[in-house]
Amino acid sequence: MNGPSVRNPVLLFGVLALCGCDEVVRVRNLAPEVSVVAVCPDPQGAVVWVDVADPELDPVDLGLSFGARPLRIGATEDGVIGLSPERAAPGRRHRIRWATEASAAASLCPTLDEPARDTDCADARGVEAGERVVLAVVARDHAGAESGQGRPALVVGEGCEFLGEATP
């Protein structure tokens, strides 16, 4: 035989396997996606409908603001902390109550960074059907990936009948 011969194929396979051990696999956590579907007027404060998706199915926290101020969120409905997503868009639908200053449910104003903040909260009073509102939405999953959805402009009450909400 000409050239070197391999006497122990198991040893050769082990050496070749060790050569690939310095490879590092980096998994990128993709940011969640949120879309505001509708803002529906309600006697106890408006209701915001959102769809939430996250490729890794991490729970998602939302930050909603009206103008430059965070929204006061009522204690009923789905809230904005730890929302469960679907893997792909459009996502899982959630109902978030936008409470009024006078509402007993408006004791908390959760935001992404201060989930128990209770000052400087926007108010749903004065928001009526047919009025155009601009909401800023930020979504952060529990692994830390964050996305901003800009400022979607919605007409209050538009699409609410489709969601089973009667528009006054």
The closest alpha carbon to 154, from 83, 72, 74, 48, belongs to 48
Which domain covers residue 57, as residue numbers? 33-155
Residue 60, H or E segment = strand 60-66
Assigned domain for 140 exists: yes
pTM here is 0.73
Residue with tokens 């490879």: 23
Task: Provide the CATH number for the domain around residue 122.
Answer: 2.60.40
DSSP-derived secondary structure letter, 129: T
Task: Domain count for the chain, please give it.
Answer: 1
Indicate whether 24 belongs to any domain: no
Digit-coded pLDDT (tens) for 86-137? 999 899 999 988 776 555 544 455 444 444 444 456 666 667 788 888 888 8
33-72 pLDDT per residue, tens: 999 899 888 777 788 999 999 999 999 988 888 766 777 7
Structure confidence by residue, pLDDT tens digits, 139-160: 999 898 998 777 778 888 888 8
